[in-house]
Structures are given as structure tokens and as C-alpha cells.
């Protein structure tokens, strides 16, 4: 008799599916981004340059919209780490996109408070209004709809984050058209801002 569990070591076990990013076009930081990154790196000891990896990846997204394999290799070379180190960060954090996204990325929080307050219906209405499915981008390249795990504003549920920086709070399915039309007409200026910012004012 053995106390070790019997594992069915057959097909389907012990398979690893490693994320392989698209190489994309050749990538190098613009002189402005490179200078900005070099200045940022001066805030770390020389042996800790790779601590700037998240900022570097934000710069990649600002420059080309999403992060490709070639961009990861360039970041690794510039900050002094391996491409695998950069890839680990890209694939861990949800704010980095490995495929092209729209001008406005709408991420609907689906964690408990938002879920209980109808986030699923908000996502469905967004997709219906924009004629896309979750994780898809509109034909005009303006909007990408995604779901997100916890935006940290449970008392304002349901919440939508726009472009990793702006919050649209207390969003019901009936508010979706106003949100989208406002972004089309006035861009980010149409958003009323995060409650934390407003409460500090």
C-alpha cells in the first residue's frame, strides 16, 4: 500500500505552453523616450538598472501601442537584463498589451462588487454597442473591450478603466452609450475622473 497519490501520467499532463510573442517590426526607443529612460535609470544604482523595466514597457506602449518580441529584446538590451526577464513582467501584469489595441482600451472590472452590481451586463452592452466581443477592437481601431480583475473602487461599482489611467465609475448598462460617445467626441476630457482624485480636490 502506498500513500503517494497515483497520477495518470498520460497525454495531457506535464505540458507547458510558453507564451511566444510576435516578433513584430524592428524596435528602438525614440531619442526622446531613450533620454527619458536614461534619466529614470539614474534614480537606481547602476547594478539595478533593470528596476526601470515597467517604466520602459510603458514607453514602448506609448511609442507603438503594444509590446512585441523585438520591443522586449530592445528593452532588455537597454536596461541590462534578459529578454526572458522582460517577458516575465509583460505576461504577469495585465496593463501590458502584446497585441494591437484601440485608441481607448475599456476594461470592465468583474470582481465581486462590480459583478454583483451588473458588470457582466455592462460588458455585454459595451460589446453590443461597439459590435465586438471581449478582447476585440472595433473596426475603426478606436475601442478595445476587455475585462479586468479588481480596479479597487468597490464602492463605485461597476467600474470601467480607460487606458490604464482613467476611471469611469458607477457605470450601468444604460451609461455605456454616453461613455463611448463622449470619448468619440471629446476624448479623455469627457471622463469625470477617479473618485480618489475628486475627493482630494
Quick: pLDDT tens for 1-52.
Answer: 566 666 666 666 666 666 677 898 999 999 999 999 999 999 999 999 999 9
Measured distance CA(27)–CA(127) in Å, rounded: 32
* All domains of the chain in start order, with CATH: 31-92 (1.10.10.1590), 104-198 (3.40.30.10)
What's residue 167's pLDDT? 83
Cα 66 to chain centroid, rounded: 9
Model pTM score: 0.79
Q: The cell 471629446 sits on which residue? A: 186
What's residue 134's pLDDT? 94
pLDDT < 50: residue spans in the chain: none
What's residue 166's pLDDT? 86
What's residue 199's pLDDT? 58
Pure H helices in the chain: 31-41, 53-64, 69-79, 83-92, 112-116, 119-130, 176-186, 195-200
What's residue 169's pLDDT? 86
Measured distance CA(131)–CA(155) in Å, rounded: 29
- Residue 41 labelled as part of a binding site: no
What's residue 26's pLDDT? 95
- Residue 150 labelled as part of a binding site: yes
- Residue 154 labelled as part of a binding site: yes
- Residue 114 labelled as part of a binding site: yes
Amino acid at each position: 500500500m502506498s500513500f503517494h497519490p497515483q497520477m495518470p501520467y498520460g497525454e495531457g499532463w506535464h505540458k507547458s505552453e510558453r507564451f511566444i510573442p510576435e516578433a513584430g517590426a524592428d524596435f528602438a526607443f525614440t531619442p526622446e523616450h531613450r533620454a527619458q529612460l536614461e534619466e529614470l535609470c539614474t534614480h537606481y544604482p547602476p547594478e539595478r538598472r533593470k528596476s526601470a523595466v515597467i517604466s520602459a514597457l510603458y514607453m514602448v506602449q506609448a511609442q507603438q501601442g503594444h509590446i512585441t518580441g523585438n520591443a522586449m529584446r530592445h528593452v532588455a538590451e537597454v536596461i541590462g537584463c534578459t529578454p526572458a526577464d522582460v517577458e516575465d513582467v509583460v505576461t504577469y501584469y495585465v496593463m501590458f498589451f502584446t497585441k494591437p489595441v484601440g485608441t481607448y482600451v475599456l476594461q470592465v472590472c468583474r470582481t465581486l462588487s462590480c459583478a454583483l452590481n451588473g458588470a457582466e451586463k455592462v460588458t455585454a452592452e459595451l460589446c453590443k454597442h461597439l459590435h465586438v466581443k471581449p478582447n476585440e477592437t472595433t473596426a475603426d481601431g478606436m475601442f478595445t473591450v476587455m475585462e479586468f480583475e479588481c480596479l479597487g473602487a468597490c464602492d463605485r461599482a461597476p467600474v470601467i478603466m480607460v487606458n490604464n489611467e482613467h476611471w469611469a465609475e458607477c457605470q450601468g448598462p444604460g451609461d455605456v452609450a454616453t461613455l463611448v460617445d463622449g470619448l468619440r467626441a471629446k476624448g479623455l476630457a469627457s471622463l469625470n475622473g477617479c473618485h480618489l482624485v475628486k475627493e482630494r480636490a
